[in-house]
Homo-oligomer: A and B are copies of this chain.
């Protein structure tokens, strides 16, 4: 019936991410275990750790030759708080309440937020901080008050979202919640992954690299029994007695899927991903799982620091303002992408203008400059009076310390009236707008994958960007939400699978 290469029955080429292999067509299990985790990023590592700690035999398959996935590309910040504050929040004077964390995350999740996941995370965020430190992730007890995207030092606590900005500040008492690991320089995600990967090995998880999942194995009752993988020329049939946990990231690198599901995200020219080919999501769908929120994504232009630029105003190609500029750079960028056309400018005057910290990376250039806003308007080719009317209205209110239209906070309000004036060219197709996807498999907080009818697919779990978790709405995204979601719900998925 089959050779040891396991290619009889159904040929390897015929396996598909979009249709499961039936149990009947498995010629011989190449390997058997209890829990299989697919993908060695933060979600997969956390799932493997908790499955192993719960006593299960675990294999972790990774498609590439190394661990880390897209998590390792990140700054490593994790969104934590509530319960009176983490030790670092408390030391910085923030007694972060659980209800504020809850309200913030619920609002940040957008119209489709998952209340159950938000609740569970808010209630257990402090304990999750303890778990992270218990795994070996170190945090310096320090706080940066200034606007930053990611510290270049080893400092910890930063404002990483829109906590102090309208409308979030009306719903939840603000606190800084971005916890960056004790790692000098940017790119702390690699450090966090090194710590988690070390734990994975310590706990005896069988890790296998260069194994690419190509199909799930299900029986006629739709229970998931394992996976078909490709390793070089070999087809591997791997049995999971308890469950399969999909943690292969999102789909931002699968440009065809992006085109079909999030076409607007193609306007951002810097996808952030490693594999992120949508394979986990497709495997889940093939077993009956529902993919939700597939048209949502995150996009950002790192236009601050310096904070002084927050005193500028963004206008679209019609000279209209469209957002309070003091919210998180990702929220501003999401509104930028919603504007008609592709012309976007950040207007500043002599008092507010300073070069951007990431000016070279951002590819933001000065689009026009002048001694009056009339001159800038003309130079930008905007219809007479359009930009000038916008600036006049803004200045009139800013002088009074008010922004009745967009609600930028008073500390960022100053009339833009000190010449020379500049318009920074933030064109979408030219500047550094990075992006990733926020759609994925619908799951219970336990990681169980749900069908469109809200029933669980037996034996199948998902976490990280393969699932649809806490971050699911670009305008609400805050730095650290993805790693928070991936590590916390990755843990739950691994634990749930092991306890089956």
Q: Which residues of A contact B (CB under 8 A)?
A: 10, 14, 16-19, 22, 24-25, 110-112, 220-222, 256-257, 259-261, 263-264, 266, 278, 282, 285-288, 290, 292-296, 318-320, 338, 383, 385-386, 389, 392-393, 396-397, 404-406, 442, 451-455
- Contact check, B397 vs A393: say whether CB atoms are below 8 A apart: no
Q: List 5 A-B contacts (CB under 8 A).
A: A16-B222, A18-B288, A111-B266, A257-B452, A389-B393
Known interface pairs A320-B320, A385-B393. Does A220 touch B18 (Cβ–Cβ under 8 Å)? Answer: no
Contact of A259 among B16, B112, B295 (CB under 8 A): B112
- Contact check, A112 vs B263: say whether CB atoms are below 8 A apart: yes
Q: Which chain B residues border A295 with CB–CB below 8 Å?
A: 261, 294-296
Q: Which chain B residues border A111 with CB–CB below 8 Å?
A: 263-264, 266
Copies in the complex: 2
| A10, A259, A452 interface centre (most CB from chain B within 10 Å) | A452
Q: Which chain B residues border A257 with CB–CB below 8 Å?
A: 452
- Contact check, A451 vs B294: say whether CB atoms are below 8 A apart: no
Interchain CA distance A102-B220 in the complex, whole Å: 46
Contact of A318 among B17, B397, B406 (CB under 8 A): B406
Known interface pairs A112-B260, A293-B260, A405-B318. Does A19 touch B288 (Cβ–Cβ under 8 Å)? Answer: yes
Q: Which chain B residues border A393 with CB–CB below 8 Å?
A: 385-386, 389
Q: Which chain B residues border A396 with CB–CB below 8 Å?
A: 385
| A19, A282, A319 interface centre (most CB from chain B within 10 Å) | A19
- Contact check, B260 vs A442: say whether CB atoms are below 8 A apart: yes
Interchain CA distance A287-B221 in the complex, whole Å: 15
Q: Which chain B residues border A259 with CB–CB below 8 Å?
A: 112
- Contact check, B397 vs A260: say whether CB atoms are below 8 A apart: no
Q: A18-B452, A318-B406 are in contact. List 16 more A-B contacts (CB 8 A).
A: A16-B451, A22-B22, A22-B220, A24-B220, A111-B264, A112-B259, A112-B263, A260-B452, A282-B452, A285-B285, A295-B295, A295-B296, A320-B320, A386-B393, A389-B389, A389-B392
Q: Which chain B residues border A285 with CB–CB below 8 Å?
A: 285, 452
Known interface pairs A220-B24, A338-B338. Does A260 touch B19 (Cβ–Cβ under 8 Å)? Answer: no
- Contact check, A405 vs B389: say whether CB atoms are below 8 A apart: no
Interchain CA distance A156-B257 in the complex, whole Å: 41
Interchain CA distance A14-B453 in the complex, whole Å: 12
Shortest distance between the CB of A286 and any CB in chain B (Å): 7
Q: Which chain B residues border A261 with CB–CB below 8 Å?
A: 292-295
Shortest distance between the CB of A295 and any CB in chain B (Å): 3
The 5 A-B residue pairs whose C-beta atoms are closest, nearest first, are A295-B295, A383-B404, A111-B263, A18-B451, A260-B292
Q: Which chain B residues border A385 with CB–CB below 8 Å?
A: 393, 396
Q: Which chain B residues border A286 with CB–CB below 8 Å?
A: 288
Interchain CA distance A264-B111 in the complex, whole Å: 8
Q: Which chain B residues border A397 with CB–CB below 8 Å?
A: 383
Interchain CA distance A220-B215 in the complex, whole Å: 13
Contact of A18 among B264, B282, B294, B453 (CB under 8 A): B453
Interchain CA distance A257-B18 in the complex, whole Å: 21
Q: Which chain B residues border A266 with CB–CB below 8 Å?
A: 111
Chain B residue nearest in CB terms to A404: B383
